[in-house]
Every structure is written in C-alpha cells, then in structure tokens.
Amino acid sequence: MAQTVKGFVQDSYQIVSSSSPTVPLHGDDMLKGVQFLNEWLNAASATGLMTTIAKEITFPLAIGQSEVTFGSPSYVPTPDVTQGRLSNLQNAWLVLDGVTYPLIDQSRNTFWSSYKYDPQLGLPRFVIVTNEVDLTRMRFYPGPSQEYIVHVFGKFQLADLTENDTMVTLPTYYIRFLRLTLAKDLAIYKGRQQAWNKMLEDMLVKAEQDMMSVSSVNLNIETEQESYLNGAWRVRAGV
C-alpha cells in the first residue's frame, strides 16, 4: 500500500527531530512540509533530470495545427494536452496508416534563425519545444497537411500533492531519496541545521546519484540539419 503524504512528511520531520516519534507535529508544520515537498517536485521538473517518470502519450494532430500546448488541466485556458508541463522530451514521432514518421527535436534558436517563411503544409519533420512558466509549447514544422497521431515520450511535471493524497504517483525507489531531500529542507525551516549531519548528507548524495542513474539519457546522433530547416529537403523529397 502506498504511503500517505501525511505519513511521508512526518517521517521526514522525524529524521531531523529530537522529539519522540509519537509526538505529533505542531502549528503549520504539516502545511509547510507539504508545501516544501511540492516545491521540490516542481523544481525537479525544470530539467527533468530528477523527475524519474518518463511515459508515452498520444494525441491527434489536426490539419494545419502547427502548435500543441502541454500543461495542468487547471491551467486557464486549458492546454491541448493536460498531462502536465512537458519538462523533458526524449522522443516524438507521427503515425499515419500504420507508417511511423520520426520527428527531429530542434532547438528554438536554430529554428528561428533558419527558416525564411511561414511553413507550408506537408509532412512535419521537426518539433521545436518552448518552455514557459506553467506551460510547454511544441511547434511542428512544417504544419501537417493531414491528420496524424502524435506519440510523445518524455517526462511531465507532476500535479501538486495534498496532505490527504498518497505517494502512489512516485516510484517506490524514489521515496528514500525524496524523504532525505525533504528532511534537509525541513531542518533549515525548523532551525535544526545541526541535526543535518555528515552521515545524512552522505546518504542524500548517494541517493541522488542513484536517482540520476535511473534518469534516461538521450542517445540521438546529431547530424547536419540546416538544409532540412531551410526547405531544401522539401525539394529533394518532392513534398
């Protein structure tokens, strides 16, 4: 059974507390514990390195739809894909009539400095990802001339947790690392910095290294793609 968020926060406090395990938390201790937990989970999604959950999602791409947004379902206006902000794209591809068309993840700066006109409709070859505060935009270049099914494999920002939630959205191997991480923040909050000793710091460093080793690495081979972006590939391919 997955541990409750309330129990998880209490365990983190206990690591740096001088009180007996049976002594309940006081005042806004639980509120602050949940707040710091969510702050760390949100911060971890900045690069996706420490967000160890990667998953594949699919969605339709309509004719002429050159941009898709990713975000929380509570964001206004509602994003096209409500899996949370896309924090790390690892792979993307299109499927049409059983045929798979890989998409090339191109940097925003390279894209905007390469193409010279608004893209015509055709077979999308590139995706350009732009991260915003609570939203991620994915642009397709060229725009689709027919409807495709898009497959995206990557890491998405998790929804905020509440005291009454469980830790089921996090993998079990992640819990030990996250408990130590939260305990370190709580030690500072409670003025218990002296309780965070070298032994605990060494445990946290080892747990952090383990989490980084779990995070997948993009092994795509980069090739010269300038001619693709400036439209020459369309002439050669007859698109």
> Do 62 and 141 belong together in one domain?
yes
Cα distances from 122 to residues 42, 66, 76, 95, 143, in angstroms, run 37, 11, 31, 14, 6
Give the Cα separation of 224 and 110 in Å (integer). 12
Q: Each residue of 19-47: pLDDT tens digit?
A: 766 667 888 999 999 999 999 998 888 87
Q: Is residue 72 a part of any domain in this protein?
A: yes
Provide the 3-class DSSP secondary structure of residue 127. strand
> Do 22 and 113 belong together in one domain?
no
Q: Is residue 67 a part of any domain in this protein?
A: yes
> Positive or negative CA dihedral for 111, 113, 119, 122?
negative
DSSP string, 43-58: HHTTTSSS---EEEEE
Tell me, what's the pLDDT at 150? 97
Number of independent structural domains in the chain: 2
Tell me, what's the pLDDT at 179? 96
> Do 135 and 185 belong together in one domain?
no
Q: Is residue 127 a part of any domain in this protein?
A: yes
> Do 31 and 103 belong together in one domain?
no
Closest-CA residue to 88 (of 125, 52, 35): 52
In 61-82, which positions are buried (b, 16+ CB within 10 angstroms) versus exposed (e)?
Answer: beeebbebbbbbeeeeeebbbe
> Do 129 and 195 belong together in one domain?
no
Let me know: does 25 contact 10? Beta carbons within 8 Å: yes
Residue range(s) defining the domain that contains residue 79? 54-157
91 Cβ neighbours under 8 A, 6+ residues apart: 151, 152, 153, 154
Domain boundary among 139, 157, 175: 157
> Do 105 and 178 belong together in one domain?
no
Let me know: does 18 contact 179? Beta carbons within 8 Å: no
Domain boundary among 124, 157, 190: 157
Q: Is residue 120 a part of any domain in this protein?
A: yes
Give the Cα separation of 75 and 152 in Å (integer). 21
> Do 179 and 209 belong together in one domain?
yes
Q: Which amino acid is at 114?
A: S
Q: Is residue 237 a part of any domain in this protein?
A: no
Mean residue pLDDT across the chain:
85
> Do 73 and 114 belong together in one domain?
yes
> Do 186 and 206 belong together in one domain?
yes
> Do 16 and 106 belong together in one domain?
no
> Do 148 and 88 belong together in one domain?
yes
Gyration radius of the chain over CA positions? 22
Tell me, what's the pLDDT at 17? 86
> Do 140 and 193 belong together in one domain?
no
Give the Cα separation of 9 and 183 in Å (integer). 8
Q: Is residue 144 a part of any domain in this protein?
A: yes
Q: Angle at which helices 5-15 and 29-44 pack, to 10 degrees?
A: 100
Tell me, what's the pLDDT at 27? 86
Q: Is residue 226 a part of any domain in this protein?
A: no
Q: Strand 54-61: give its sheet, edge to edge.
A: 54-61, 148-156, 86-96, 99-102
Q: Is residue 108 a part of any domain in this protein?
A: yes
Give the Cα separation of 7 and 24 in Å (integer). 11
Q: Each residue of 144-170: pLDDT tens digit?
A: 999 999 999 999 998 899 999 999 988
Give the Cα separation of 166 and 70 in Å (integer). 24
How do the pLDDT tens digits run along the chain, 239 residues long?
789 999 999 999 999 987 766 667 888 999 999 999 999 998 888 877 788 778 899 999 999 999 999 999 888 899 999 999 998 899 999 999 999 999 999 888 877 777 656 667 899 999 999 988 889 999 999 899 999 999 999 999 988 999 999 999 888 888 999 999 999 999 999 888 899 999 999 999 999 998 888 776 554 444 445 445 555 555 444 44
